[in-house]
Amino acid sequence: MAVCVAVIGKDNSPKYIRCVDESSALQFHCKVHTSIDIIEEKLNVGNKAATDIRDLYLNLLYATEEYKIYGYATNTKIKFIIVLHSSNVSLRDNDVKMIFKKLHAAYSNAVCNSFYIPGDQLNSRQVQSI
Amino acid sequence: MRSAISVILSSPVPDNKMSHPDYEQTAHDHAALLLLLRPIGTQIKQKTVTRLCERIIKTGSRFSVADSTGGTRDILARFVREHPVENNDWGDFQTHRRLLGLITFGKYDNQVELNELCRVHETLKVKYSATLYDSRAILFGPVESNNVHEPPTLFSTPSNFKTRAVFYTDETCPDLETHVMECLNSLFWILESKRLERSREKIDRVSLLLAPFEKKDFIGLDLESRNNKKRCVGRMTKHLGDLCLQAGLPADALSNYNSAASVLQAVNDWLWLGAAFEGLCAASALVLYPNMCRSLPLQRNSSLQEGSPGKQRRGSQAVATLPSPPAIEVIKSNMPHILLPEEISKKYREAIVHYSKYQYAGIIETEASFKATRISIEQNCTLQAASYLSSVILINLSLSEQEKIDRFTTLSDLYTSFGFIRKASFCLRFAAARHVSQNNPNPDWQQCYNLMLQATSGFKLSLDPVEMSPENHRGWPVIQIQVITELVTAANRMGNPALSTRHMTFLLQTMYNYLTPNERKETALQLQNVSQQCEGAPVPLVLDSGTVIPPANLTNIPKTKSFILKNMQPHLQPQKIERAKEDHGPFLFTPINFGSLERKNISKSKVAGRPKEVGDLEILGFSTHTLGVKSNCRLRYMEGMVHSQYTVEVVPALPRIEVATSLPQTASFSSGDNIVTSASISLYGGESAECTVTITNSGQVPIETIELSVQSTLDTVLESKIFKWSEENLMAQLPLQAGASASLTLYLYAATDFIAPTSRNDISSSTYLSQPSSLMSHSGHSSLPSRLNSPSHTKRQSELTSSFRSGLSSHSGRSSLASSRLSKLAVPLHTSNVVEGQLNIKYSGGAGLTAGYCRISSVFVTIEMLPSVQITNWDVLPAETPSQFYLVLDLTNMTNHEMELHYTQTKCIYMEGKEPCRIPVPVDRCPLNKLSMLNGAGDIGELQKVCSEHIASLVDLRWQLLGTESIGKATLSGITLTQDMLDLVRMSPLQWEIKINDAVVKAQDELTCNLGECVSVGIGICNALEHPLSDLMLSINFYQDHHNGVNNYQLETRLSIAGANKVMLPALQEYGRVYHECRVVFFTTGQYKIDIQCSSKESTPNTPVVCSELINAGHTWRYIPPIEITCAILFFKLNRSFTFGHKLVENRYRFQHQLRQQICFLCAYFDKHLTKIISD
């Protein structure tokens, strides 16, 4: 299972971040934060090449000795990041993709809430349930 | 796996390892000649050295040399300020690591110093002797030498000093460049010769070149094996490639590298294969991107530390002329082995992978990664660059802390250069942490803090709280909080409490919303602690590095909920003199009212200020001192503020007054503007009192003008009656200097209405209480009872008259009080016993007056008006003289005290409390000349007004309450009069002269006559008006008053009139007189009354009339009181009249004659009647 899930807004501010181990939250915050750089870069590249047919899934952003960080960006530049343990081999690329899909759906549902102001911190049970 | 290979391939403990990584290297450096620039001795100034170095680098970094074949070689040179001798050991592996040249700078003043400089130079030469080709010493002496290469006279170099030296006196050394170029040229030629030497070596004779750590690996190996031979050849080819590259022959280098790579690959010599690949990449990059160093972003330079050689090198290269990169196809045809851009990174990756197989090649690997990154940046492949960099971290090196710091700062620089600011900041933070890590033998908090500060931008953390306002807050609060906390710690540890206070304040201010309540509490406590060491102040802090830390203001602790600019107290507000009083002018002082949130309780704070100068005052915010931090809270930067600033117009100074009165203050008064004090008094109706108002100038400005006015809900007439003062008296006391006082006497008069509003109600309250109010109001006027009402009025009025008489006596004070209370509801003004007024004192002076401003202070005056005397009813009666009449008043003493009431000069009456009584007041009738002044529409209202004013002016009711000292005066103003009353009140315009039997009759004379006597009635009318009257009709009517309200005019059977009883008078001139006479005979005895009246005919509507005529038109004047004649028969008269009896004897005959006449008359009468009866 993922050790950390994050939803990042258009302006690269965190909307939602949740870690399995709350005590090392800061560490994950840093990891996720720095991985924005790579997402940005990937999105930039995409912009140059073909804006329309860009895969939302950004693949592995980078791997450290402990963790693998995967990224996913929607067309509205909302970014999802999942941090996995490096030792976790049960999850394949496709599985990660599936998680992202689910996350995206949950996020869409949360945003559909008419009381949600775009840009605010996410506070949705649905998102939290994943 | 990586470590496994390393263990296999490398010996566990190498003797030599390159322990000084050079993170600044680029691929181009592979082609550069390495020179060391080194100041020696203690004399030479750092500044001079820096300047000289710059010049050398500028000239020498890139130069061209014509070679022996006639071609030109582009040669690069790299100048460093430090070069660890250990790095030379890797010179066989990669020749650009060898130090080839040495240039020293020194300054001497005497021979000893010169000797020392030479010695140090020689020592350095020895140090690098293994690789050094050539050296120069640049020496500055006190005297000029004849030959630059010779020491000046009197000085000599030691004998062991074999270096070519350059001697200068001044530090401008104009031909420095020439000497440097000469040195570089010599280096090139030596290199070129070495290259040629190497290239001519026999392929099978070459020795094995070794990397430093490899020396042990080959002990015991068969050097003569085929494999080893190949290894030797491969390594040597690679080495030759290095030399070619340095000597400016990239094409040769490429082919050498290429062949070396194929050889080395075959023998699995991974380390050197890696080096060959790197060489290929470096050579290709050199050809493809000749300007590469230039493309490095500028901010890289700024973030580098001062004095770093890399910076200088790059800066200088940017200045050098740069050839544009040639097209790839052209190059490819010239150099078949060149790598295409995408191949470069691929090969570099391979090289790095090969390096990584050796634990001790970590530094080479790291450097290769950096070089590869720089190429990737040049190629705009940022992701690739990032991947190189991220692999750097994985390289396990045992480095000193300083080297680790360098590694991280370099990483950070590179990340920054391609826009990975978050990574860059992350690395900087790491570097900062290394500065103070436990392993660091000499922790440096200052450095740590500086790096930390640089890192903040990557976390979207601006140290200016304004940019961190909640609306535009970006970034990751959790990380930001961590960074700020670290900053606080670093600042604290480096002994700058001001900084830590600042950062702590910043943390609390900007991150308040992201902190848990517990953290907030902790942070606040910490802030309190640090601020004890250094109080926070809202000024920018300038660090040694020049960085400015903007001020952090705590605007949300306490949280300001609202900020209201409060006007001055109304009486201090300046008013525009032109304006109406109610207008709110601009204000002068600035009392501010703000609420604050201290955790949970809301408190209100008031800030007051006094402006010092005239003009516009802008209020931008306020200052607080919270938790030991002084904050300037600007409204602009605060949440929920309606206005970002307030502007106050400051007008010139105005005087201020304090007002006091001699009367006690009101306990509570209705709120109003400007009121500064109040006065209250109780007065009985008609009573007067004085109130002294003392005005003290409490300000600094003299008062030059004062204007007084009274403001109340009353009408102006009444107002002026109640409030009176002498303006002149006050004006005489002006100008009022500061501190001086002026007094003003305010005369107060209780102007109550003494006329009971509805006296009719009192009288017949039982009858009329249930009637609708319209009837009540109507009854007030018409009900006034009068015996003088027209005789044709019916019985009811007599009833009223009687009820008036009896009602007054029978009415108890209680019931009349009750009804007067009732009437209060109907007419509140008359009976409301409290009058409130406001004495407005408008004053100004000094500059404020010139500018047209004033202030208004008000005294609130409350007068409680107690009822004193009330006139419940009134009537007019004819007096004994025609010039006067009696005003009969029913008075009630409304007080509880005994009252003495003077109603004429001589007469007075005592009344018990609440007691009613009746008094007749003789009043002169209203003279005609008063009436004649009437002009305009001569309606009855005007007339009534004049008459009632006449009465009010003449009747002087003075009361005094016994027991108290109160005296007062009641006025009759407001009395209403009916038409009939009016006739009595005013002088008749006609003067009557009545004669009975030729004797002038006075009013109320008792007249008698005999039955059957012919009485002559003569009436003379004199017009007292100033204008003629026309169409008058004089009529004489006899009637009998039955004293039961019935007047009988049907007197045909009782009397007979000889002569006209109605006479038309066409005109009566002014002051003209007419006389008419008629006779009357009474048939029966009784009391007869003569109603003599003179009426003017109704004026025809069409004919225009003079206004004075209008008054009289259709009017009837009556002679009042009516003449009474008592008719009696003789004997009756005898009995009745003693006087008549005497006369009887004396005039016996006359009586006989009269009797006879009467009998005749009676006979005739009877005859007449008999015939009438018969005829009927």
Please indicate whether, in this complex, the C-beta atoms of A37 and B423 are within 8 angstroms of each other.
Answer: yes
Distance from the Cα of A70 to chain B's closest Cα (Å) equals: 15
* CB nearest A41 (choices: B383, B459, B478): B383
Mutate to test the interface with B, among A33, A42, A44, A66 (most CBs of B within 10 A): A33
Mean pLDDT lowest among B73-77, B81-85, B962-966 = B962-966
Rounded CA separation B1047/B1069 (Å)? 34
Report the share of chain B in percent with pLDDT over 70.
75
What does the DSSP 8-state code read for residue B340? P
Residues 397-416 of B with CB under 8 A from A: 415
Please indicate whether, in this complex, the C-beta atoms of A12 and B475 are within 8 angstroms of each other.
Answer: yes
Q: How far is CA B151 from CA B25, B107, B110, B177, in A?
A: 38, 12, 12, 20
Do the bridges between strand B916-924 and strand B629-634 make them parallel or antiparallel, or are there none, so unpaired?
unpaired
Residues forming beta bridges with residue B78, ordered by sequence position: B34
Rounded CA separation A107/A7 (Å)? 9
Asked if B361 and B397 count as a contact pair (C-beta separation under 8 A), the reply is no
* CB nearest B383 (choices: A11, A14, A42): A42
Fold of B988-1128: Immunoglobulin-like (2.60.40)
Mean pLDDT lowest among B306-310, B337-341, B1126-1130 = B306-310
Backbone angles phi, psi at B54, to 5 degrees: -60, -40
Q: B420: nearest CA in chain A? A: A37
Please indicate whether, in this complex, the C-beta atoms of A34 and B482 are within 8 angstroms of each other.
Answer: no
Rounded CA separation B571/B1002 (Å)? 70
CA nearest to B250, candidates B193, B331, B187: B331
Query: What does the pLDDT look like over B1090-1117, one tens digit per residue?
Result: 888 877 765 444 434 444 444 455 567 7
Please indicate whether, in this complex, the C-beta atoms of A41 and B382 are within 8 angstroms of each other.
Answer: yes
Between A93 and B314, the higher pLDDT residue? A93
- All residues of chain B having their beta carbon less than 8 Å from the beta carbon of residue A42 are 383
Query: What does the pLDDT look like over B1-48, one tens digit per residue?
Result: 444 334 334 433 334 455 677 777 787 888 888 888 888 888 788 888
CB contact burial B1019-1036 (16+ within 10 A = b; e otherwise) = bbbbbebebebbbbebeb
Structure tokens at B758: 């509805």
The one-letter amino acid code at B364 reads: I
Query: What does the pLDDT look like over B776-835, one tens digit per residue?
Result: 333 333 333 333 333 333 333 333 333 333 333 333 334 344 344 333 333 334 455 777
CATH 2.60.40.10 correct for B673-753+834-863: yes
Query: What does the pLDDT look like over B401-430, one tens digit per residue?
Result: 777 888 888 888 888 887 788 888 888 888
What pLDDT does B938 receive?
53
- All residues of chain B having their beta carbon less than 8 Å from the beta carbon of residue A17 are 478
Q: ipTM beyond 0.85?
A: no
> What's chain B's length in residues?
1176
Mean pLDDT of chain B: 73
Asked if B676 and B958 count as a contact pair (C-beta separation under 8 A), the reply is no
Asked if B657 and B696 count as a contact pair (C-beta separation under 8 A), the reply is yes
Structure tokens at B701: 């400005």
Please indicate whether, in this complex, the C-beta atoms of B479 and A26 are within 8 angstroms of each other.
Answer: yes
Rounded CA separation B857/B342 (Å)? 90
* Burial zone of B1099 (CB within 10 Å; 0-12 exposed, 13-18 middle, 19+ buried): middle
Reported confidence tier of residue B1140, pLDDT bands at 50, 70, 90: low
Rounded CA separation A61/A83 (Å)? 10
Query: What does the pLDDT look like over B559-570, one tens digit per residue?
Result: 777 777 766 666
Please indicate whether, in this complex, the C-beta atoms of B422 and A34 are within 8 angstroms of each other.
Answer: yes
Asked if B455 and B463 count as a contact pair (C-beta separation under 8 A), the reply is no
Q: B478: nearest CA in chain A? A: A26
Residue for token pair 């990059």: B285
Q: How far is CA B566 from CA B589, B607, B650, B863, B1151, in A?
A: 9, 10, 14, 33, 106
Does residue B221 sit in helix, strand or coil? coil
- All residues of chain B having their beta carbon less than 8 Å from the beta carbon of residue A30 are 426, 479
Distance from the Cα of A11 to chain B's closest Cα (Å) equals: 7
Rounded CA separation B383/A61 (Å)? 10
CA nearest to B1005, candidates B1138, B920, B1122, B888: B1122
For residue B832, the Cα-to-chain-centroid distance in whole angstroms is 43
Please indicate whether, in this complex, the C-beta atoms of B420 and A13 are within 8 angstroms of each other.
Answer: no
Domains belonging to chain A, first-starting first, are: 4-129 (3.30.450.70)
Q: A13: nearest CA in chain B? A: B475
What does the DSSP 8-state code read for residue B202? -
Rounded CA separation B910/B898 (Å)? 7
Residues forming beta bridges with residue B607, ordered by sequence position: B592
> What's chain A's length in residues?
130
Please indicate whether, in this complex, the C-beta atoms of B479 and A41 are within 8 angstroms of each other.
Answer: no
pLDDT at residue B193 greater than cutoff 80: yes
Please indicate whether, in this complex, the C-beta atoms of A62 and B386 are within 8 angstroms of each other.
Answer: yes
Between B955 and B567, the higher pLDDT residue? B955
What pLDDT does B814 receive?
40
Rounded CA separation B805/B916 (Å)? 13
**Can the peptide bond before residue B1121 be classed as cis, meaning omega within 30 degrees of 0?**
yes
Q: How far is CA B652 from CA B572, B581, B607, B851, B959, in A?
A: 13, 19, 21, 7, 54
B476 touches chain A (CB under 8 A): yes
CA nearest to B763, candidates B823, B826, B808: B808
Distance from the Cα of A33 to chain B's closest Cα (Å) equals: 7
What pLDDT does B321 receive?
43
Rounded CA separation B148/B169 (Å)? 10
Contacts of residue B633, defined as CB under 8 A and 6 or more positions apart, other chains included, come to B553, B554, B555, B560, B621, B622, B623, B624
CA nearest to B925, candidates B891, B880, B970, B957: B880
B482 touches chain A (CB under 8 A): yes
B2 touches chain A (CB under 8 A): no
Other beta carbons within 10 angstroms of residue B1128's beta carbon come to 21
Query: What does the pLDDT look like over B221-246, one tens digit per residue?
Result: 666 777 788 888 888 888 888 888 88
Query: What does the pLDDT look like over B199-214, one tens digit per residue?
Result: 887 766 677 777 777 7
